[in-house]
Structure 1
Amino acid sequence: MLHHTVPAEDINLILPDHFEWINRHYRAGDFLIEGRCAPGADSVIIAAGMKRGRLDAILATDPFVLRHMVKPEVIEFRALHTVPELVHYADRLDSGVSGG
């Protein structure tokens, strides 16, 4: 979760930099899904399974985080079921996750 700490108008000014960051991590295989909870509300990123320290390091490079515009919150979970189209992610979702 990316909890916005500034008005949506300020967030919108940095969206191009944030989307570039998001797309870089899609290409690297770090992120699976991202989007907003509701218009102008907090954002959600679903990351591939990885060590918590690696995820924290990635989140620290988000242009929003660097500008103190959002506060990231990591919610770790173990995926128990998924649709057939996502089965090949099951090992990635379940492996290498620490804590939780």
Structure 2
Amino acid sequence: MFIINLTYKTELEKVDQFLNDHIEFLNEQYKLGHFLLSGRKIPRTGGIILSNVKSKPELEKIIANDPFKKKELANYELTEFIPTKTCDELSFLIE
């Protein structure tokens, strides 16, 4: 499992120009089962995505299609982790 930490590298006005395209990208990844959770950081300096993609190379290929990545609007930090404890409602995340 991965935490994807996006940090914007440009002003919000430019980010907002491609926000709908980014949301379409997210929606597709949810449909494919690659993403489990996403949202904006506060303050709005980027976002966080929780992904259950199995390998870093596979996730990097997916991220390459994000309009924010294609337009060089954000940096992406990938943190891999193994979930070992959770609440009952999220127990499906434990492998």
- Same structural fold, with TM-score higher than 0.5 when normalized by the shorter chain: yes
CA offsets, 1:51-70, max 9 Å, x none?
11100100111000000001
Whether 2:84 is the aligned partner of 1:80: answer: yes
Question: Which structure carries more strand by proportion?
Answer: 2
Q: Look up the match of 1:38.
A: 42
Q: Give the percent of matched residue pairs that are identical in Structure 1 and Structure 2.
A: 30
Flag structure 1 segments of 5+ consecutive residues without an equivalent: 92-100
Moved over 3 A (4+): none
Count of residue correspondences: 91
Question: Which structure carries more helix by proportion?
Answer: 1
Flag structure 2 segments of 5+ consecutive residues without an equivalent: none
Give the TM-score taking structure 1 as reference length.
0.85
Give the TM-score taking structure 2 as reference length.
0.90
SS in 2 for 1:79: coil
CA offsets, 1:26-51, max 9 Å, x none?
01000000011114212100001411
Equivalent in 64, 67, 71 of residue 63 of structure 1: 67
RMSD, matched Cα: 1.0
SS in 2 for 1:34: strand
SS in 2 for 1:65: helix
Greater RCO, 1 or 2 (C-alpha within 8 Å, sep 6+): 2
